[in-house]
A and B are shown apart, each in its own frame.
Chain A
Amino acid sequence: MERVIEPPVLARHRETNWSLTAAFVVMVAVFAIAPFVLYPVFLMKALCFSLFACAFNLLIGYVGLISFGHAMFFGWASYVTAYAAKSWGWPPELAIIGGTAAAAVLGIVAGSLAIRRQGIYFAMITLALAQMLYFFALQAKFTGGEDGIQGVPRGHLFRIFDLSNEMTMYFFILVVFLAGFLLIYRIINSPFGEVLKAIRENEQRAISLGYKTERYKLVAFVLSATLAGLAGSLNSLVFQLASLTDVHWSMSGDVVLMTLLGGLGTVFGPVAGAFLVIAMQNYLAPFGQWVLVIQGVIFVVCVLLFRRGIVGELAQVLRVQL
């Protein structure tokens, strides 16, 4: 049986890391210039979803677990952040920490249930748990039901930076995104990350080597959930809104699509995938339901023809790690 992801050929060689450094420098440079050229709100949304997709990729790309319910962490955190900032008047940094922590707790609960089964069952369980949260959000008082939580104040970061200024907000999002991105990179290249990859390749072998794989999987799940929550918290401040869209199953589908399109298990793939999908949703919005059709077609084409995704294929052609 083939592995879940097809890692690029040279993935193991440390000396090819120059390609990662170069790509990282290019990415930072592009993001630093971008807001002067493109609409900042679009970029902020894309950055939030990039972080979301990177967090998701941590689970599918490096542990081989496919979650179809990651919207629950994104959406849950976005509700908690929005509520804390609006109803309790928390400053943005605390509201974000609160939302992220809420996602982490939810990650512990959902993770300890979901890792009891593997493969497709794992996907179905996460999807079902997310749907449960969706119904909860629909009925609970504090989420505002169909209306969501609107008019969330962005506030002043550390009481100094006024986040209602689009540029200030953009660079704040960029800094958090880069921190999250580097943290994920650090995790997958740590001894802990090596164990995760071992579990992905051959769980039985990892168990026989004495690793408590359940525990590793749970920690990876919680880390992924937490970072997805961070992305959701940021997103709710960008749009000053937390709504049912954030917890709907189609949001979970979107993040799977972003990661698949960019390249499962690649470092930069989720970012590229997120930008492409967000751009597509943005520019094709006037065509209504065709967006859904096109997204579905991309799924099919990726699975049949480009299982490495765009960045994965690129890395393959250039014979470098990306």
Chain B
Amino acid sequence: MFEIFGIPSQALFGQLLLGLINGSFYALLSLGLAVIFGMLDIINFTHGAQYMMGAFAAYLLLHHIGIGYWEALVIAPIVIGLTGVLIERLFLKHLRKLDPLYGLLLTFGLGLVIEGLFRNYYGSSGLPYQVPEALQGGRNLGFMFLPNYRAWVIVLSLVVCFSTWFAIERTRLGSYLRAATENPVLVRAFGINVPRMVTLTYGFGVGLAALAGVMAAPIYNVSPQMGSDLIIVVFAVVVIGGMGSIMGAILTGFALGIVEGLTKVFYPEASNTVIFVIMAIVLLIRPAGLFGRSA
């Protein structure tokens, strides 16, 4: 045990780890928002509810069908992603030619419906979800104790984030996607089914949110309002990063998680608000966001 700036190393690294965990979720969620925004030009206010649905899917799979964490990690994002496809087909499709603010109002409403339904059936208190057996326990690194599950969350989230970045920035499919973001009409003229791509993009973004939800289930309690508080912070993250770049969303997410963790060590009173304060400062200095292109 040693001290850094008068803070015991355990406390400092413990909070840094928590910050990285939060950062993983910020990154996954803001990545999903950025992907959706790129194709659909809307801010998906349902994102928090979809993250919550992911966590609930894992909980329900375990307690009603006996399907464990590892399968849920695959099944939940697919199922919730499919509900996203449905939402796009049923509702968002009709808003394409309207002001993007209507998309915002609609997704906000959908978020209320989903949260209300879950609160109705599961109440407001959190439901526990066990850490999978293989990842229980932890190891002592000398300067801190590292629970295995938390290390796994950080690694998985990094892998998912960078695969998504790779898929969008470095593959042929990704190039279609970026092209359709720039000029959908021209891409359609080349014989690419852009509406289907839009639908699948929304489904994918929603799936990312659900995946984050499954990963969060063993750390935080599974509860209907777990998404709505988190998503507001993620919006601030998105404003700070700017939605112009996929990598920007990932880096901003992790960085802000760490900053939040450090704030918890040095000035705990501000840990809830530090991200919003940073948002205000960024707006003053660089209104387009750190990685954003000015609108």
Q: Which A positions have Cβ atoms within 8 angstroms of B?
A: 1-4, 66, 68, 113, 116-121, 123-125, 127-129, 131-132, 135-136, 138-139, 249, 253, 256, 260, 288-300, 302-304, 307
Q: In the complex, which residues 257-283 of chain B have their Cβ closer than 8 Å to any Cβ of chain A?
A: 269, 272-273, 276-277, 279-280, 283
Q: Please pick, from A118, A119, A139, the residue contacting B269 in the complex, using a CB distance under 8 A.
A: A139
Contact indicator A1/B295 (Cβ below 8 Å): no
Contacting pair B110 A300 (CB below 8 A)? yes
Q: Is B145 an interface residue (CB 8 A)?
A: no
Within 8 A of A (CB), among B89-111: 91, 94-95, 97-102, 104-106, 108-111
**Distance between B56 CB and nearest chain A CB, rounded to angstroms:** 15
A22 to B235, CA, bound (A): 44
Evaluate contact between B283 and A256: CB separation under 8 angstroms.
Answer: no
Q: How far is the CB of B48 from chain A (nearest CB, A)?
A: 11
- In the complex, the answer to whether B99 meets A4 with C-beta atoms within 8 Å is yes
Determine how close the nearest CB of chain B comes to the CB of A109; give it in whole angstroms: 9
Q: Is the CB of B117 within 8 A of A117?
A: no
Is there contact, CB below 8 Å, between A303 and B106?
yes
Contacts of B116 in A (CB 8 A): 289-296
Q: Which of A125, A293, A307 contacts B113 (CB 8 A)?
A: A293
Known: A116-B287, A292-B119, A304-B94. A127 touches B232 (CB 8 A): yes
Quote the shortest CB–CB distance from A304 to chain B (angstroms).
Answer: 6
B interface SS class: helix
With both beta carbons as reference points, the residue of chain B lying nearest to A135 in the complex is identified as B272
A136 to B280, CA, bound (A): 15
Contacts of A307 in B (CB 8 A): 98, 102
Q: How many Å lie between the Cα of A302 and that of B91 in the bound state?
A: 12
- Decide: B109 and A296 in contact? CB cutoff 8 A: yes
Interface residues of B (CB under 8 A from A): 42-43, 91, 94-95, 97-102, 104-106, 108-117, 119-120, 228, 232-233, 235-236, 238-239, 269, 272-273, 276-277, 279-280, 283-284, 287, 295
Q: Bound complex: CA of A121 vs CA of B104, how far in Å?
A: 11
* Contact B106 A304, beta carbon cutoff 8 Å: yes
A293 in contact with B109 (CB, 8 Å): no
Residue in contact with A297 in the complex, picked from B113, B236, B284, CB distance below 8 Å: B113
Contact B228 A128, beta carbon cutoff 8 Å: no
Q: Is the CB of B276 within 8 A of A131?
A: yes
User: Are A113 and B283 neighbours in the complex by a CB distance under 8 Å?
Assistant: yes
A129 CA to B110 CA in the complex, in Å?
23
Q: Are A120 and B101 in contact (CB under 8 A)?
A: yes
Q: Which residues of A contact B42 (CB under 8 A)?
A: 120
Q: List 14 A-B contacts (CB under 8 A).
A: A117-B239, A117-B295, A124-B235, A125-B239, A127-B232, A127-B235, A128-B239, A136-B273, A289-B116, A291-B116, A296-B109, A296-B113, A300-B113, A303-B105
How many whole Å from B265's CB to the nearest CB in chain A?
17
Q: Which residue of A lies closest to B269 (CB)?
A: A139
Cβ–Cβ contact B112 & A296, under 8 A: yes
Q: Which 8 A-B pairs have the closest CB atoms?
A: A299-B109, A292-B116, A296-B112, A296-B113, A293-B116, A132-B276, A116-B287, A128-B236
